[in-house]
Structure 1
Amino acid sequence: MANYSPYAVPQAPPPKKTWRVVLIVVGAVLVLCCGGLGVGGYFLFKGVKEATGPALDAANQFVVNLEHGDTDAAYEQLCAGTRTAYTKDAFADGVAKQPKITAHKTTGVNVASINGRTTATATMTLTLDSGFSEQHAFPMLKESGDWKICGRPY
């Protein structure tokens, strides 16, 4: 005689895969978030570089012109207001009376656009022929699409 019971013996339920599903979902979310942060960071860096790069290039070129003693080229990089305040000869004379720049390092660039006027400030550490170094801020203005040095240039 066979063991026969009028009641069905319940089978053990199949093992739950809840943890595996949760881990897969959490992993997918992490991959998407990290990927999104990476892509967003890239475009943010690229946008900042596009905004500050031309101003930085103009400031570097101005200082390189001063390092090489090319005051005519440096004068051409001055904004209209500053050129009005200094003649070419007065600018060259003023530069000649300053310690000579032998090297420079950019420490920061800030670009702002307020009421349609785009300005920047490039901050540099200037190494002088006296052996001293000084921090100097170069205020800049975008004129006709080009960055120009304004204010007290050097």
Structure 2
Amino acid sequence: MEITGRLTADAQVRTLSDNRQVVNFSVAVSDSYKAKSGERITQTEFFDCSYWIATGIAQYLTKGTIVELAGRVSARAWVDAEGQPKAGLNFHTSKITLHGGGAATDKAQPVNQTAAGAAPVHEAEVVPNGTAPDDDLPF
């Protein structure tokens, strides 16, 4: 599933008891439509997001930044301290694409991080019979 929304606060990196780290942040996703009465209706859903792959992205996830996320969604329900039932949505993020709009745009260029990691993987060129590749090709 993919969602696009705006961060509601700066991301936080948490270290768990087993020394694993997770980036937690919240995203607001708005949708609007025109009702039969002609009135414009806007609905906003809030997702509590977690990103387990790399914590370095947290510095770019600042309040107001527009992000495109890929991952899976799950629902949760609980009873608060006053006995009131509550519900929320979790988003287990596997890919983050920044689109700007927050304080991160002043710091650096947009970053696209995926489960494969932030660094590109380069494959070695395989040449048959141990010969050198022909470097004078025009392409």
Per the TM superposition, whether the score is higher than 0.5 is no
TM, length-normalised to structure 1: 0.25
Higher CA-based Rg:
1
More strand by share: 2
- Give the structure, 1 or 2, with the largest relative contact order (CA under 8 Å, sep 6 or more): 2
More helix by share: 1
